[in-house]
Amino acid sequence: MRYLALVGIFLRLFGFIYLASIVSFLILNQWSTFPSDSSKFIEYLTGHPEVAPVLGFADMAGKIVGFIILPILYFQYIQRRINIEPLFRFPESVHLLLGIGILFTSFIWVSAIADWNKTLPFSEWFPTLSPEMDRLEKLSASVIQLFLTWDSVEIVVISILFIAVIPAVGEEIIFRGALQTELLHWFKKPHVAIWVTAATFSFIHFQFYGFIPRMLLGALFGYVAYWSGSIWTSIVLHFLNNFITLVWLVLFHQKQTSLDPENTGYIPWYVSLCCAGITAYFLYRLYERQVQPTLDQTTRPPHESI
């Protein structure tokens, strides 16, 4: 029974994500200048920075529908045995502060792991998939590049919404709020639920040269959400991570800083190790102050609505 539930959980997850992509595609399809040939899409984006607003709007609309609205409606009207309402309470200030400490101290060592992840010989391990992996990396880089020239209020607002706000809210609701909560409900193993969710979270981005660091960040968000008892904690951390990275990329793109956010090889290994130790300390303090396990709060009495 539990394994059938597991199949249903992931089919539902990918269904929500697929519907989000359909919404985005339908909006983009109304924009006749976009090429129908996906192989020409990267070249098109490089030469047409003016499409950033419509591309951002289409992606955000898809995420709002597929990542936010549909999962919430599912738990409210279909999967009524699992109560996600407690996850939406505001976190205690100490949990939020510890979470921010975890995020800030993880920047250094996660970046070091990201540099190492890029050196892995994916072309040797997956020779048939390597060209597609490279294409997806280039596509992601081309899309992000559209939002790094802050020459108007419009593009600044769209960039922050597209890269920081909507992904933070949407991805935390569908992954930590929906997937992780359902895995906890059915399997009663918090660490398994958190790491399976983190791996799925990283996989869904389809950027495998950054798979391991993204999975580690996902696990940190998962533990913070679980031990704080509030998804708002992980939403805040997710937003801060994306926003700080965005601002750093903008500053580097505009030559306001020489520090490349995508290459942190200049940071000594012992600094990364020290920061990892501090992250572990903050995680332990959060564990000590955790809200009572959310497993006790997932089952809603019959006929009770959110």
Domain of 152 in residue numbering reads as: 2-297
CB atoms within 10 A of CB 153: 8
List the alpha helices (DSSP H) in the chain. Answer: 2-29, 41-47, 52-63, 70-77, 93-118, 122-125, 130-145, 153-160, 166-171, 180-187, 190-204, 211-228, 231-253, 269-288
Neighbours of 241 (CB within 10 A): 21
pLDDT class for 169, splitting at 50, 70, 90? very high
| 94-145 residue pLDDT tens | 999 999 999 999 999 999 999 899 888 887 888 888 888 888 888 888 888 8
pLDDT at residue 264 tops 90: no
Q: Is residue 305 part of a domain?
A: no
> Are 222 and 234 in contact, with CB atoms under 8 Å apart?
yes
- In tens, the pLDDT along 208-254 reads 889 999 999 999 999 999 999 999 999 999 999 999 999 999 998 88
- Residue 151 falls within a domain, yes or no? yes
What whole-number distance in Å separates Cα of residue 270 and Cα of residue 251? 27
Confirm whether 302 is domain-assigned. Answer: no
The model's confidence at residue 71, banded by pLDDT at 50, 70 and 90, is: very high
pLDDT at 156: 93
Q: Is 187 within the bounds of a domain? A: yes
Domain assignment present for residue 193? The answer is yes
pLDDT at 63: 97
The model carries a pTM of 0.90
Structure tokens at 289: 């102050």
Report residue 89 CA to chain centroid gap: 21
Quick one: average pLDDT of 152-175?
Answer: 94
Q: How many domains does the chain have?
A: 1
Residues 179 and 9: beta-carbon distance below 8 Å: yes
304 falls within a domain: no
Residue 282 has what pLDDT? 97
Q: Which residue has the higher pLDDT, 76 or 166?
A: 166
Report the 10 Å Cβ neighbour count for 260.
12
